[in-house]
Amino acid sequence: MMIYIGNVAIERTAALAPMAGVADRAYRIVCREHGAAYAVSEMISAKGLCYSDRKTEELCTVDDREHPYALQLFGDDPRFCAEAAKRLADFGPDIIDINMGCPVPKVAGNGSGCALMKDIPRAAEIVSAVVKAVELPVTVKIRAGWDADSINAPEMAHACEDSGAAAVTVHGRTRTQMYHGSADLDVIRRVKERVGIPVIGNGDITTPEQAKAMYDITGCDLVMIGRGSYGDPWIFERVKHYLETGEILPPPTVQERLSEMLRQTEMAVGFKGERLAMAEARRQCAFYIRGMKGAASFRGRCGSLSSLADLHALAAEIADGTEI
């Protein structure tokens, strides 16, 4: 079964969430190859892009293996967001996504991200400006609200729809929850009841059964997996298989996990260079080896990885007699 965001067809299984510092190009490609129906880039600063920040532009590169794919921008000024969207469109994404759900202080504290949940008129103005600036479908990612006393995702989603958004993604937590507590599926359900555009549900999906439950409880059009994919890109093919057959696929073997860890890291090194890629890989490699024999010790060593040679040596040691 397919859903459509504008004219972009997406398989109704599970998508990969945008995650700053995690869902880079190598990670997204690996997840797409394991069945992620759709992926969204790391956040890109509208002002950074407009001021031609070199680091910002590096986040915009789209690999042919990633389609259907969205580039995600954040900002608090409609003019900058519109200009940034035009520049993002030149990189060849299928969709432009606007982040209005990031809770971290350096984003929300500057009026962007989840701060826009407190200013729906301004959020609507940003969406309208971006929609007018590009011919691509424009989507918005939001949260349940700023805090427990201001759950306004249905109103926010409705305003985004009225401003031309082609879909909305809802993370079922408030800004004050950050990533703690449980995602509120009822909020996602109420958003789905309020708008006519596709709704993507996000939060707390770590198993195929949870993905199906989100579909069943909220009526959402697509589910999105973020932290549940850490070290486990196979979750996307497990979700797909479960939705199609009701059966749970077996987990990957130790060798499969190590091989994919190495392949993803090697790909990242090719994209970014060894120094930066290995610094960012330390956290991701630790997730790949969770649950293995001796994992606590090996995870500690992940924190000091500085070269591919280090990682290959560590993987060889883990493979030598390691069992899940």
The region, left, alpha or beta by phi > 0 then psi within -120 to 50, assigned to residue 164 is left
The region, left, alpha or beta by phi > 0 then psi within -120 to 50, assigned to residue 210 is alpha
> What value does the mean pLDDT take over residues 140-169?
97
Structural domains of the chain sorted by starting position, each given as residue range(s) with its CATH number in brackets: 2-245 (3.20.20.70), 254-319 (1.10.1200.80)
> What value does the mean pLDDT take over residues 192-207?
97
Ranking 149-163, 190-204, 277-291 by mean pLDDT, the lowest is 277-291
Assign 300 a pLDDT band (cuts: 50, 70, 90). confident
Distance CA 154, CA 37 (A): 25
Residue 254: what pLDDT?
92
pTM above 0.85, yes or no: yes
Catalytic residue selected from 50, 102, 220, 285: 102
Token couple for 265: 């890291």
Assign 296 a pLDDT band (cuts: 50, 70, 90). confident
> What value does the mean pLDDT take over residues 50-75?
86
Closest CA to 266 of 21, 9, 30: 30
Residue 299: what pLDDT?
81
Residue 322: what pLDDT?
53
Per DSSP, 65 falls in state: G
Assign 321 a pLDDT band (cuts: 50, 70, 90). low
Distance CA 152, CA 272 (A): 39
Q: Does position 312 have pLDDT exceeding 50, yes or no?
A: yes
Q: Residue 13, class by beta-carbon neighbours within 10 Å (0-12 exposed, 13-18 middle, 19+ buried)?
A: buried
pLDDT digits (tens, 9 = 90+) for 107-128: 998 999 999 999 999 999 999 9
- Choice between 256 and 320, residue whose per-residue pLDDT is larger: 256
Q: How far is residue 48 from each of residues 72, 73, 78, 92, measured CA to CA in Å?
A: 13, 10, 14, 19
Q: Does position 324 have pLDDT exceeding 60, yes or no?
A: no
160 is catalytic: no
Q: What percent of the chain clears pLDDT 90, i.e. is strictly above it?
A: 80
